[in-house]
Structure 1
Amino acid sequence: MTAPEFNFGLLIEAEDLVPYLGHECLRIVDLSRSSVYEQLHIPHAIQLKPKQLVAQHDEATGVLPSVEQLQQLVQYLNISPEHHVVVYDDEGGAWAGRLIWNLHCIGFTRTSLLNGGIHAWLGAGFPTTSEIEKTQPVEKLVQVDLSQVNQYKIDYDELRKQVETQHIQLWDCRTTEEYTGLRLAARRGGHIPAALHFEWSTALDRQNHLKLHPLERTRNRLEQLGFQLNQPVVVYCQSHHRSGLAYIVGRLLQWPIRAYDGAWSEWGNRLDSPIITGENPL
């Protein structure tokens, strides 16, 4: 296997990917619904199902899987340290972003999100196929390394401590109804104290194939809401699915960002967690 000939950033456009279709160092991963993938997908893309990205612990439904499960994920993706992984889905990038976060957690950062996913690809008129990709086993698989995982994730105990000392900036990217507590998706509704609200899909341009809005626009909206983009932030949703895209947005904005993968499914199901209801952070 030769060294990669491309130099993709964390976000790439469909036209940037086209010249490299079939490259031996490129792995394209499709996290669209199975019905979509079976009908059409980007040539050479392999299908990955969201359930392969998460584990369930106690009340939490979307936590980072075990080392063994993560190694199985690497084996399924069939990636070596020389590969570059480009990920897309059919929903604007949430599941795709979640896969990228998983890979970052294990020390693999040769990753890119395809802006707009399959919608942008189809909108540009690029080729698709219904053929199932069969990859040849690579000689040297990526080895899971969780030594730097705390750069990317935060657990309940650490988060609880920082919330109690008011030494944290929190981004709740769920819907307004979930944030205020009007919609229950756990035993209790509401949000983590001090969390500011910016729904994940607000970053998407529905008039432009679910591509991200210009980053400067999103930056301005976040700052107007009171976020300090030069200070660390923790993002969460219900199960670290929607916050997969929020994580990508944060990284693109060069924001020091971590994800709470226990998310509201853990915080809201625990009866001892401090909770705020209503529109105000506190």
Structure 2
Amino acid sequence: MNKLELPSPLVTSHWLAQHLNHPGLVVLDASWHMPASGRSGFEEWQRQRIPSARYFDFDGRIKDQRASLPHMLPDEDLFAREVSALGISNHHNIVIYDSLGIFAAPRAWWMFRAMGHDRVAVLNGGLPAWQGAGQPLEQGPPAAVVPGRFTARRQPRWIADAAMVEQALQNNDYRVLDARSRERFSGATADPRPGVRPGHMPGAVCLPFNELLKDGHLLPVEQLSTAFASLVSPEQKLICSCGSGVTAAILALAAERAGYHQIAVYDGSWAEWGGASHLPVEQNQ
């Protein structure tokens, strides 16, 4: 069997269909929905999925179980244990998708990168693109998997905390990008989380994640490069933030596609910053 190589951090439904049965490939469904939607990514995966896809639960199981903030990155031991239970070993190539196109899958992609695994990609267009291409779906109870042996190696360069963001906001070598809507960024719209202030970090720049997408697909590289070039210089290091660290990862994936190499995600994002009274908040309604 030929060795499998992922062509980029973003793969098409056509590529995935060609390689779906390769023993070196694992497909993960990382679907997650905003709490107000009433939808369950796990329950939807149980009913219907890309054949052989396993469920990557970053909101329930694969998170820091002690953190008060939502779905924070776990430590290496928990990540390795849960990923091994999904039948994944360090030699595997991983393709991650979600049921909305591109929404939650980049969060799981970033988690693998932050844990030292580079052989990981996101399915462009997600489950809707797979279905739209006429590819088969698997229904009914998912099959059991043979556990793998995965070793996690935390990569600090991919991860930002509040202290790092505070320093970055005062340093021209960095640019902090906020993936939330312009209304939430400006403070014109209240934050959906109780006790979290509206507004943004002083010095941060708004780049709503949905402006980098079209029909559930990430924009072509040329358009991504144009979007970032207007806000970030090539030598600046990027820190991506959002509401709770999910759509910030869309910016991180898009930035990598656009040719940036020094990218971190602020894991606590606005859920932490807006909820901490000692951290500065700016509004420009």
Cα distance in 2 for residues equivalent to 1:5 and 1:167: 37
Letter aligned with residue 23 of structure 2: E
- Structure 2, unmatched stretches of 5+, are 32-40
Cα distance in 1 for residues equivalent to 2:5 and 2:219: 25
What TM-score do you get using the length of structure 2 for normalisation? 0.87
Q: Which string of whole-angstrom CA distances, capped at 9 and with x for unpartnered residues, describes residues 76-116 of structure 1?
A: 32211211010000123232111111111111111011000
Q: Which residue of 2 aligns with 1:137?
A: 147
The answer on 1:115 being equivalent to 2:124 is yes
Q: Which residue of 2 aligns with 1:55?
A: 64
1:58/1:86 Cα in 2 relative to 1: closer, same or farther (>3 Å)? closer
Cα distance in 1 for residues equivalent to 2:106 and 2:62: 11
Question: Identity of paired residues, percent?
Answer: 24
Q: Which string of whole-angstrom CA distances, capped at 9 and with x for unpartnered residues, describes residues 35-87 of structure 1?
A: 43233211111122231343366653232112332122222322112110100
**Runs of 4+ off more than 6 Å:** none
Does the residue aligned with 2:139 lie in a helix, a strand or coil?
A: coil
Task: Write out aligned runs for 1:52-131 (5 A).
Answer: 52-55=61-64, 60-131=69-140
Does the residue aligned with 2:26 lie in a helix, a strand or coil?
A: strand
What TM-score do you get using the length of structure 1 for normalisation? 0.88
Q: Which residue of 2 aligns with 1:271?
A: 277
Does the residue aligned with 1:112 lie in a helix, a strand or coil?
A: strand
Cα distance in 2 for residues equivalent to 1:178 and 1:57: 28
Cα distance in 1 for residues equivalent to 2:66 and 2:169: 22
The answer on 1:198 being equivalent to 2:207 is yes
In the alignment, is the contact (CA less than 8 A) between 1:169 and 1:233 conserved in 2? yes
- Structure 1, unmatched stretches of 5+, are none
Shift of 1:278: 1.4
Cα distance in 2 for residues equivalent to 1:171 and 1:8: 27
Cα distance in 1 for residues equivalent to 2:267 and 2:209: 15
Task: Write out aligned runs for 1:165-244 (5 A).
Answer: 165=171, 167-182=173-188, 183-184=190-191, 185=193, 186-206=195-215, 210-224=216-230, 226-244=231-249
Letter aligned with residue 199 of structure 1: P
In the alignment, is the contact (CA less than 8 A) between 1:59 and 1:270 conserved in 2? no
1:165/1:218 Cα in 2 relative to 1: closer, same or farther (>3 Å)? closer
Letter aligned with residue 258 of structure 2: L
Cα distance in 1 for residues equivalent to 2:5 and 2:229: 34
Cα distance in 2 for residues equivalent to 1:237 and 1:57: 21
Q: Which string of whole-angstrom CA distances, capped at 9 and with x for unpartnered residues, describes residues 153-176 of structure 1?
A: 111112212324555211000111
1:136/1:196 Cα in 2 relative to 1: closer, same or farther (>3 Å)? same
Q: Which string of whole-angstrom CA distances, capped at 9 and with x for unpartnered residues, describes residues 201-241 of structure 1?
A: 111112xxx111212112213333x3224421100001111
1:167/1:8 Cα in 2 relative to 1: closer, same or farther (>3 Å)? closer
Letter aligned with residue 55 of structure 2: Q
Q: Which residue of 1 aligns with 2:22?
A: 23
Cα distance in 1 for residues equivalent to 2:67 and 2:56: 25
Cα distance in 1 for residues equivalent to 2:171 and 2:19: 49
How many matched pairs? 270
Cα distance in 1 for residues equivalent to 2:202 and 2:70: 21
Cα distance in 1 for residues equivalent to 2:19 and 2:3: 10
Cα distance in 1 for residues equivalent to 2:138 and 2:71: 31
1:57/1:231 Cα in 2 relative to 1: closer, same or farther (>3 Å)? farther
Does the residue aligned with 1:94 lie in a helix, a strand or coil?
A: coil
Cα distance in 2 for residues equivalent to 1:58 and 1:44: 32
Letter aligned with residue 157 of structure 1: A
The answer on 1:36 being equivalent to 2:44 is yes
Point out the more displaced range, 54-63 or 92-101.
54-63
Does the residue aligned with 1:122 lie in a helix, a strand or coil?
A: helix
Which of 147, 151, 157 is residue 157 of structure 2 equivalent to?
A: 151
Letter aligned with residue 87 of structure 2: N
In the alignment, is the contact (CA less than 8 A) between 1:171 and 1:235 conserved in 2? yes
